[in-house]
């Protein structure tokens, strides 16, 4: 696949003319509010132009404040950055979609969003409790709304002009296909866990054939050790090409045609994660031959996020 010489500048065109998404994204799933601010600022300074947020992360205000300060001080225009956030499970009822979207926009301090996701295909009991549980501690799901109902309300947001594209997160082909077929406005991006241990090849092919971008979360395997960052194939390639294992994993993700979300929390890590360059074809082939298969995040099974502290 032809790639620009500088992977860091890769921008992937979105369907129905909704602009281009920087492939190298910064994820904001950071529990600490102060770290959220410094990490977002450092990411912007390092060169990241794509910021992935969520109402569920409870830090849109901090991300927004860091972005506003960074834009004002760094000569970066709003049009130069790409900002997304996500509708949480307790807001799937169509009447709740636009208010939830507006509340996110307000917390971020923005006038429009580049992309808005449905965070998971699971609808929870509607309301302001993000984690509704019954007396036995089980999640209370909402049987009164379908994913297509919610998608229709997302389409209306695009019609109203405050959101340029819409997408799905934590879905498999079983959920994506019916929405894709029924949609008036097709999903532009699908955000799922993906890395060499979970390449999601079938989903990626489906997306590529239809002009949908696959946006990979956990490209470093959530940083778990032992794990991808210590994989012998990745480490050997890193030593050979003079890069770190993280840089090898991020380059592989972009060169196979996905976008990605990394979450560096220090300035040094932000520079490291941004400073990627293309791997030779033999290295890509070696990574593609890795046989280990592992899903790290069970959010796709229940809608309950795996990496957010309880009560948060």
Ligand X SMILES: NC(=O)c1ccc[n+]([C@@H]2O[C@H](COP(=O)([O-])OP(=O)(O)OC[C@H]3O[C@@H](n4cnc5c(N)ncnc54)[C@H](OP(=O)(O)O)[C@@H]3O)[C@@H](O)[C@H]2O)c1
The binding site for ligand X (CB under 6 A) comprises 27-29, 52, 169-170, 191, 217-223, 229, 246, 261-265, 269, 272-273, 297, 299, 307
Residue 127 and residue 66: Cα distance in Å, rounded? Answer: 29
Give the whole-angstrom CA distance, residue 85 versus residue 69: 19
For residue 30, the minimal CB distance to ligand X (Å) is 7
Distance (Å, rounded) from C-alpha 37 to C-alpha 196? 30
- Nearest 5°: phi and psi at 150? -65, -40
Q: Which is nearer to ligand X, 27 or 161 (CB)?
A: 27
Taking the complex as a whole, the smallest distance from the CB of residue 100 to ligand X amounts, in Å, to: 16
Smallest distance, ligand X to C-beta of residue 241, A = 15
For ligand X, give the closer residue by CB, 70 or 264: 264
| Distance in Å, CB of 225 to ligand X, minimum | 9
> Measured between alpha carbons, how far is 163 from 35 in angstroms, rounded to an integer?
28
Query: Which residues are registered as beta bridge partners of 141?
Result: 124
Closer CB to ligand X, 108 or 281, in the complex: 108
For ligand X, the closer of residues 97 and 250 by Cβ is 250
Pairing of strands 20-22, 11-13: antiparallel
Question: Nearest-5° angle of CA 219, CA 224, CA 230?
Answer: 80
Between residues 77 and 287, which has the closer beta carbon with respect to ligand X?
287
Catalytically active residues are 57
What is the closest distance, in whole angstroms, from the C-beta atom of residue 155 to ligand X in the complex?
A: 20
CA 160 to centroid of chain Cα atoms: 23
For every residue of 40-108, DSSP letters joined together read: HHHHHHHT--EEE--GGGT-HHHHHHHHHHHHHHHT--GGGSEEEEEE-GGG-SHHHHHHHHHHHHHHH
CA geometry: angle at 245 spanning 239 and 250, to 5°? Answer: 125
Q: Is the peptide bond before 226 cis (omega within 30 degrees of 0)?
A: yes
């Amino acid at each position: 696949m032809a790639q620009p010489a500088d992977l860091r500048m890769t921008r992937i065109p979105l369907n129905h003319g909704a602009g281009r998404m920087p492939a190298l994204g910064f994820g904001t799933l950071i529990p600490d509010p102060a770290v959220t601010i410094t990490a977002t600022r450092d990411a912007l300074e390092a060169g990241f132009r794509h910021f992935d947020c969520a109402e569920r992360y409870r830090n849109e205000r901090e991300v927004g404040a860091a972005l506003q300060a960074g834009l004002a001080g760094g000569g970066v225009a709003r049009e130069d950055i790409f900002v997304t956030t996500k509708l949480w499970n307790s807001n799937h009822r169509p009447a709740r979609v636009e208010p939830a979207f507006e509340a996110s926009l307000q917390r971020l301090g923005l006038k429009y969003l580049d992309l808005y996701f449905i965070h998971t295909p699971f609808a929870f009991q509607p309301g302001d409790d993000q984690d509704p549980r019954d007396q036995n501690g089980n999640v209370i799901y909402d049987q009164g709304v379908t994913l297509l109902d919610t998608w229709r309300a997302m389409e209306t947001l695009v019609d109203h002009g405050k959101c340029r594209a819409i997408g799905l997160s934590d879905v498999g082909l079983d959920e994506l296909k019916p929405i894709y077929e029924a949609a008036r406005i097709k999903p532009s991006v699908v955000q799922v866990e993906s890395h060499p241990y979970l390449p999601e090849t079938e989903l990626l092919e489906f997306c590529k054939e239809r002009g949908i971008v696959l946006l990979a979360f956990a490209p470093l395997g959530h940083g778990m050790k032992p794990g991808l960052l210590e994989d012998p194939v990745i480490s050997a390639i890193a030593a050979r090409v003079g890069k770190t294992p993280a840089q090898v994993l991020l380059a592989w993700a972009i060169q196979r045609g996905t976008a990605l979300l990394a979450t560096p929390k220090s300035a040094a890590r932000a520079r490291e994660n941004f400073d990627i360059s293309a791997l030779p074809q033999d290295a890509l082939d070696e990574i593609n031959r890795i046989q280990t298969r592992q899903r790290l995040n069970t959010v796709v099974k229940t809608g309950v996020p795996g990496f957010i502290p309880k009560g948060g």
